[in-house]
A and B are shown apart, each in its own frame.
Chain A
Amino acid sequence: MAIISIIAFAIITIGAFAFFFVKAKEIYRNIQLGQKEDLTDQPGKRLTNMLLIALGQKKMFRLTIPAILHLFIYVAFLITQIELIEIFIDGFTGQHRLLFHLFRDTLNSGFLTGLYTFTISFIEVLSILALLATFAFLARRNLLKIPRFLKSELNGWPKLDANIILIAEIYLVTCIFMMNGGDVAREIVATGESPYGFLISGNIVGPALSGLSLEVLNVIERIGWWGHIIGVLGFIVYLPYSKHLHIMLAFPNTYFGRLKPRGEISNMPAITKEIKMMMDPNADPYAAPADGAEAAPGKFGAKDIQDLSWKNLLDAYSCTECGRCTDACPANQTGKLLSPRKIMMDTRDRMQEVGKNIKTHGPDFIDNKQLLKDYITVEELRACTTCQACVQECPINIDPLDIIVQLRRALIMEDSNSPEEWNLMFSNIENNAAPWQFSQQDRDKWAKELTQ
């Protein structure tokens, strides 16, 4: 019996991790579809950002209540991993609470046994806090009318995805208490007292269950144990399909975040080269590019995910669709079509689609679709005021504005798709050195009038 359970455990564990590894490779390959960009300078500053923003959740606390609720689930998730160590050991060896017995019986260490009891108790307390947070989150998503959870881009899968994970959280916590509580109760039934001093299972759940028969308690404990590990492995398999990928990608995403001032929009070196050539009377426009010179870019700006930087694509996979960006967006607040969250979701969906095409039809397949227009409309792009509120609010430093600007560039410089008023503004800047139709000769008129 034990050998069958060990084999079953090994198969599902290895299977789940292998599946995740294959999907993770696909995600990595999809991110590599983007343009190269070196984001490895100043490692110290990057590490600090990662520790403060991803590990330390610093930017989450711009909204206090959701930050505290999220923190409960986050810390519970992190700390519960400790319990998994024993579950894996037990699963592969066919033992029961091997660490506990090792600490108490073999090593006879009061300290380690105490530490074990403390850790499980701590996990139990965090599990209750996480459970409370989960109920609060379910209410926030489904009962309370919180605007950022009611936007149309969440209809369908994204909303279901969020609820699935919350329900899975309830399931996992239930399993933990079935496992620990069942264990305590059957010890009480069998020997009169439990050797486990777990805070909640030992004092509440276990005693409450101890009226049941030993057979039933054995089943409860096993359902809890297997249910928990199957839940955890199921979560790993589910992760690549879900916004919950942020639990991993938040770390690289904050590490590789751009370190420039928020207001800076990068210059395009390819254009600098063109203009310098235009301004240089000795330049030969027909000359072959010098050896080692970069080839001219295929296009100016971005029309599809391959034109974006790999960091934009990592941003898209890291997004957990919380909608703080959209909530802060002045365009969205005043009823415009633009939603920065949708920009990120569209980028990810298009990237998934391109990835799927590569997998089924090979790397050269063209599906005659692109991010610009097929996913993100001109009207959305036009509504952006570049105010950076979306960038400011993102808890893990995602930059929707960077994508918006790159798509705008392609609209203007590739498609000459520009509102008439903007065309006028462009030609005024070129011809009159001001966005309005005033003569440059009148630029100091105010000064003459002031000093007269």
Chain B
Amino acid sequence: MELKVPTMAELAAEGRTPEILFWVGCAGSFDQRAIKVTNAFVKILNHLNINFAILGKEEACTGDPAKRAGNEFVFQMAALQNIEILNAYQVRKIVTTCPHCFNILKNEYSNLGGAYEVVHHSQYLQELIDQGKLKVEGGGTFKGKKITFHDSCYLGRANEVYEAPRAVLEALDADLVEMKTAKSKGLCCGAGGAQMFKEEERGNQRVNQKRAEQAVETGAEIVAVGCPFCMTMLSDGTTEKAPGKVKVFDIVELLVQGKGL
């Protein structure tokens, strides 16, 4: 399959506007592991001939880690510049594979002048599955396989999206098992609040070790995530806890594997 990743600028030059903007995010653009998730999502978008575009070189950090660390200046500088670009392209709908980008674009850009319909890729994929556009033919790779889903704080508690990612996993016919704490009670992976960008404070354990313990306890072979930072944290944690036994994938990667794309 020939993959296309048009930019907003290219489409604008042809006088076209896409149906959705795929907000890739910093991790999705630069982190080697997260790039694989980006690629998987692009494969789905191409497979379904969805009219999408990315901002490419014009995309910039949403400012989320700065804001959560307490640096409102750096956040708003980034936000106001992003809003100028988004509004210049008259963006209406954004889909992103990062819950941090999702939360901040959805909730904190709106009263700075950037009001968009923002969805997380799990919601977008659920929508496609529900509409029958995205089908996973029965007996796929994951039939009966034990998969556990880790709720990202900024998808779950922050925006109460609990069912969409699970619906995607169920479409794969997987055996979905829950961790000791899940959904609104789900334990953080340890990356949020700009912790991703610094060493943890003194303690007796790292947060990702604790979450990885819970994930391994389920006996699942696969830990599914919907966030590039949870991906890093849980990959590290499970590798330490149960080396070679558990693999961490984003839900869209599992979907691509399931469809053999």
Residue picked from B59, B69, B106, B195, most chain A C-beta under 10 Å: B69
Residue picked from B57, B59, B204, B206, most chain A C-beta under 10 Å: B57
B204, A335: Cβ atoms under 8 Å?
A: yes
Q: How far is the CA of A214 from the CA of B228 in the complex (A)?
A: 79
B157, A262: Cβ atoms under 8 Å?
A: yes
B56, A330: Cβ atoms under 8 Å?
A: no
A385, B153: Cβ atoms under 8 Å?
A: yes
- Contact status of A429 and B158, CB under 8 A, knowing A388-B153, A408-B70: no
A430, B69: Cβ atoms under 8 Å?
A: no
A443, B157: Cβ atoms under 8 Å?
A: no
Whether, in the assembled complex, A191 has its beta carbon less than 8 Å from a beta carbon of chain B, the answer is no
> What's the tally of chain A residues with a CB closer than 8 Å to chain B?
69
B54, A444: Cβ atoms under 8 Å?
A: yes
One of A338, A412, A425, A447 near B197 (C-beta < 8 A): A425
Whether, in the assembled complex, B61 has its beta carbon less than 8 Å from a beta carbon of chain A, the answer is yes
One of A263, A336, A429 near B202 (C-beta < 8 A): A336
B69, A275: Cβ atoms under 8 Å?
A: no
Q: B59 CB to closest chain A CB, in angstroms? A: 6
Q: B31 CB to closest chain A CB, in angstroms? A: 8
Query: What residues on A are CB-neighbors of B194 within 8 Å?
Result: 422, 425
Q: How far is the CA of A384 from the CA of B154 in the complex (A)?
A: 14
Whether, in the assembled complex, B48 has its beta carbon less than 8 Å from a beta carbon of chain A, the answer is no
C-beta contact mask, A372-416 vs B, less than 8 Å → 1, else 0? 000000010011111111011000000000000101111111000
A426, B74: Cβ atoms under 8 Å?
A: yes
C-beta contact mask, A324-361 vs B, less than 8 Å → 1, else 0? 00001011011111100000000000000000000000
Q: How far is the CA of A276 from the CA of B73 in the complex (A)?
A: 11
Q: A208 CB to closest chain B CB, in angstroms? A: 47
Q: How far is the CA of A366 from the CA of B5 in the complex (A)?
A: 61
Whether, in the assembled complex, A294 has its beta carbon less than 8 Å from a beta carbon of chain B, the answer is no
One of B42, B74, B157 near A263 (C-beta < 8 A): B157
One of A62, A265, A334 near B205 (C-beta < 8 A): A334
Query: What residues on A are CB-neighbors of B63 within 8 Å?
Result: 429
Q: B66 CB to closest chain A CB, in angstroms? A: 5
Whether, in the assembled complex, A261 has its beta carbon less than 8 Å from a beta carbon of chain B, the answer is yes
Which residues between 185 and 208 of chain B lie within 8 Å of chain A, taking CB atoms? 185, 187-188, 190-207
B60, A425: Cβ atoms under 8 Å?
A: no
B70, A412: Cβ atoms under 8 Å?
A: yes
Q: Which partner residue on chain A sits nearest B210 by CB separation?
A: A334
Whether, in the assembled complex, B26 has its beta carbon less than 8 Å from a beta carbon of chain A, the answer is yes
B61, A435: Cβ atoms under 8 Å?
A: yes
One of B5, B67, B196, B209 near A447 (C-beta < 8 A): B5
Q: Which partner residue on chain B sits nearest A274 by CB separation?
A: B73
Query: What residues on B are CB-neighbors of A429 within 8 Å?
Result: 61, 63, 65-66, 74, 78
Whether, in the assembled complex, A283 has its beta carbon less than 8 Å from a beta carbon of chain B, the answer is no
B5, A450: Cβ atoms under 8 Å?
A: yes
Q: Which partner residue on chain B sits nearest A300 by CB separation?
A: B72
B203, A271: Cβ atoms under 8 Å?
A: no
One of B30, B73, B201 near A337 (C-beta < 8 A): B201
Q: Which partner residue on chain B sits nearest A333 by CB separation?
A: B210
- Contact status of A336 and B203, CB under 8 A, knowing A275-B76, A447-B54, A451-B3: yes
Whether, in the assembled complex, A264 has its beta carbon less than 8 Å from a beta carbon of chain B, the answer is yes
Which residues between 429 and 443 of chain A lie within 8 Å of chain B, taking CB atoms? 429-430, 433-436, 438, 440-443
One of B4, B187, B204 near A330 (C-beta < 8 A): B187
- Contact status of A272 and B76, CB under 8 A, knowing A264-B107, A450-B3: yes
Whether, in the assembled complex, B51 has its beta carbon less than 8 Å from a beta carbon of chain A, the answer is no
Q: How far is the CA of A379 from the CA of B153 in the complex (A)?
A: 22
Q: A371 CB to closest chain B CB, in angstroms? A: 15
B112, A435: Cβ atoms under 8 Å?
A: no
Whether, in the assembled complex, A109 has its beta carbon less than 8 Å from a beta carbon of chain B, the answer is no
B187, A333: Cβ atoms under 8 Å?
A: yes
Whether, in the assembled complex, B115 has its beta carbon less than 8 Å from a beta carbon of chain A, the answer is no
Q: Which partner residue on chain A sits nearest B68 by CB separation?
A: A386
Q: How far is the CA of A268 from the CA of B74 in the complex (A)?
A: 12
A440, B108: Cβ atoms under 8 Å?
A: no
Q: Which partner residue on chain A sits nearest B73 by CB separation?
A: A271
Give 13 new A-B contacts, CB below 8 A, not counting A336-B203, A419-B199: A262-B160, A265-B108, A271-B76, A334-B203, A335-B204, A425-B194, A426-B69, A436-B30, A440-B60, A441-B57, A443-B30, A447-B56, A450-B5
Q: Which residues of B does A touch, CB under 8 Å?
A: 2-5, 7, 24, 26, 28-30, 35, 38-39, 42, 54, 56-57, 59-61, 63, 65-74, 76-78, 80, 103, 106-108, 111-112, 153-154, 157-160, 184-185, 187-188, 190-207, 209-211
Q: 8 A-B Cβ contacts within 8 A?
A: A333-B187, A334-B205, A338-B201, A422-B198, A426-B71, A434-B61, A443-B29, A446-B35
